[in-house]
Amino acid sequence: MIKKIVTLSLLAFSVAHADMTSFYKDALKTLQYEKSYNLYETSNKTSQSAVTYSKYANFTLDGAYSKTYAQYLPTSSGSFNTTDISLHDTLDLFGKNNYKIQTLRLDVKSKKKKLSLKKEQLFISLVNMVALYNKTQMQLKIHQELYKKQQKIYVKLEGLAKNGDITALDILRFKNTLTTLQTKIVAQTQGLTKMKAELHLYAPNQSIPRLTQTQLLYTKKDFLAHNPQSDINSLDAQKLLAAAQGMNKRYIPNVTVGISYEKLDDPTAYGDNHSFDVAVQMPLNGGNFKDAEALKVAALSKQTQSVEYKIQRKNEYIRHYQAYVNAKNQLAILEKSLKDFKQSEVTIEQAYLKQYVDFNTYLQVLKQALDVKNQIIAMQTTEHLEATIINTIASGKVYE
């Protein structure tokens, strides 16, 4: 039965992989990862436009009104009104705020890499859940088959008991063993129901796929080429450097241009006043350079962490790859021994029914055969799981 499962898995390689991809894509839609990112991207572009606009359109409008009482002649006096209106625009002619746009662009890239990291984590989480579901499903099947087979043995034992060939105690022990197996079947059935419900929370319209990949289709280099966490760290360093550049440019002057209009009711004046002014404002805060140096040091600190993230990624690959190789090697050994264990099941059954061996010996052989079958399922599941993770990450499809 186990060999049949293996054969079917190999034949269904490409189809099952497509199913897992479809399941994962459906989960992405359910969680609305892309929608959240698109909304952020739109907001970021609006912020960039606002920075660009404010470089040349930073207007201020001032207005003032005053009433003045004056003595014009020794024998006469009066009052007059003064109305002042001025419009000024502060211009960033030297691009001192360009770093803000650069920082916003880096924010978009960083957000995209964070999305890639979330996608990768989601995929690994889902594929582990699916692997456990597949494993439990196969284990349940062999337990159900064993239970049905042992029920038939139990009927034969009841016949032997009537003839006095075996004791009532042997019948009771056999029945208790069947009860234990039945309890395990019930628990696994309920576990599958729970896992299925949890998986359908992510992809309600998808059937749960079967993992069947058995070969690594990509190299270690392909896997290491994708490292979202390292990319995020690199972009964070770039943002700190951009902020430092902006701090260094604080000394660059702002240019303010304006027009003013002054309306006078003063009878001794020569009419209203109109003016155009240009002003240059140059900050002289030396602390800005110190702040810029601090940001550069922080950026260098971030850059050094890239080595750590690259090592972590290599460790991830080693962990997945070694688990895959170990499962593949163990599977080859276990499958070779399965035929012998199946033969021992047949032999011990006949010997037990003829009372050549006692119940403990019979149970021990059955348990050994069952353990081998479960180990094959466990190793097969691990092989499929690790191959799926390595292939999908190395291909870059998980980030699409």
pLDDT digits (tens, 9 = 90+) for 344-377: 888 888 888 888 888 888 888 889 889 999 999 9
Mean pLDDT of the chain: 85
Say how far residue 304 (Cα) sits from the centre of its chain: 24
pLDDT at 60: 80
pLDDT at 317: 97
pTM, two decimal places: 0.81
**Alpha-carbon gap, residue 397 to 391, rounded angstroms:** 9
Phi, psi of 209 (to 5 degrees): -75, 165
Q: Say whether pLDDT at 322 is over 60.
A: yes
pLDDT at 269: 65
**Alpha-carbon gap, residue 90 to 104, rounded angstroms:** 22
CA distances from 107 to 236, 239, 320, 322 (A): 8, 8, 32, 36
**Alpha-carbon gap, residue 352 to 358, rounded angstroms:** 7
Task: Decide: 106 and 239 in contact? Cβ < 8 Å.
Answer: yes
Between 65 and 194, the more confident residue is: 194
**Residue ranges per domain, the chain?**
2-58+98-249+302-399
| Amino acid identity, position 53 | Y
Which region among 36-45, 59-68, 89-98, 282-291 has the lowest average model confidence (pLDDT)? 282-291
Q: Position of tokens 């972590």?
A: 312
Which region among 89-98, 114-123, 196-205 has the lowest average model confidence (pLDDT)? 89-98
12: helix, coil or strand? coil
Q: Is 55 left (phi over 0), alpha (psi -120 to 50) or beta?
A: alpha
pLDDT at 83: 83
DSSP state, 250? G
**CATH homologous superfamily of 2-58+98-249+302-399:** Outer membrane efflux proteins (OEP) (1.20.1600.10)
Of 282, 287, 303, 289, nearest to 244 by C-alpha is 289
For range 245-258, the mean pLDDT: 75
pLDDT digits (tens, 9 = 90+) for 97-139: 788 888 999 999 999 999 999 999 999 999 999 999 999 999 9
Q: What is the CA radius of gyration of the chain?
A: 39
